[in-house]
Structure 1
Amino acid sequence: MSDLMPEPGAEAGAPGEPAGPAFPEAPREPTGDPGVDALVERLADVTHLDTEGHVEVYEDVHGGLRETLSALDARPGPPVPSPASHTYDNRS
């Protein structure tokens, strides 16, 4: 079989360890936000879990990223002019 599809029974781990090939970690560049960087690093936890445990990690990371994005939306930004502040003379 190919490298992506090992022979059945190949690479079987010890009891309690996930079976299958170990995937090399993808290089990660820092985002500049320590909270986001910690969430991205948490994704590496799935390599030590059975497939059933992946969902919990993915949901945790997804929730953390959503909270981070929501916090960005809540930050005060520059004032937005109101539509009434721009009156135009509509004479024809």
Structure 2
Amino acid sequence: MSDAVPEPSQEVPVDPGYDPAAPAPLNVPRTPTGNAEVDAQLERLGDADHLATDGHIEVYEDVHLGLRDALTALDARPGPPAPSPSYDQRAPSPSYGTRS
């Protein structure tokens, strides 16, 4: 039995297109919300995957503005009419000054 340990390979094969400083996708899952405007903004976040770090802020600011606009639009949509401030007509009227 030999105690010889095989020598590790001195050369590690490297992909010629590999650049450790290149942007790498984060592959963060984005679950659809059902709102087309919001979903489009969430998909826009994927654009940051292909940019250097200093380009991320532009994408994030753009998405933030888009989401804020989508929320503002939700607030601006007309909803059901508010109930009118009326009194309950079923309640008995007060009888001031009447004699029995």
Alignment gaps of 5+ in structure 1: 1-9
Larger helix fraction of residues = 1
Distance in structure 2 (CA, Å) of the matches to 1:66 and 1:33: 13
Percent identity between the two aligned chains: 60
Aligned length: 74
Matched, 1:59 2:30: no
SS of 1:11's equivalent? coil
Partners of 2:26 and 2:49 within 8 A in 1: no
- AA matched with 2:39: D
**Match of residue 81 from structure 1:** 83
TM-score calculated relative to the size of structure 1: 0.63
Larger Rg belongs to: 2
Distance in structure 2 (CA, Å) of the matches to 1:34 and 1:27: 17
**Match of residue 11 from structure 1:** 20
- Return 28-37 or 38-47, whichever deviates more: 28-37
How far the C-alpha of 1:33 sits from its partner, in A, is 1.6
Distance in structure 1 (CA, Å) of the matches to 2:50 and 2:63: 16
Alignment gaps of 5+ in structure 2: 1-18, 95-100
RMSD: 2.7
- AA matched with 1:51: T
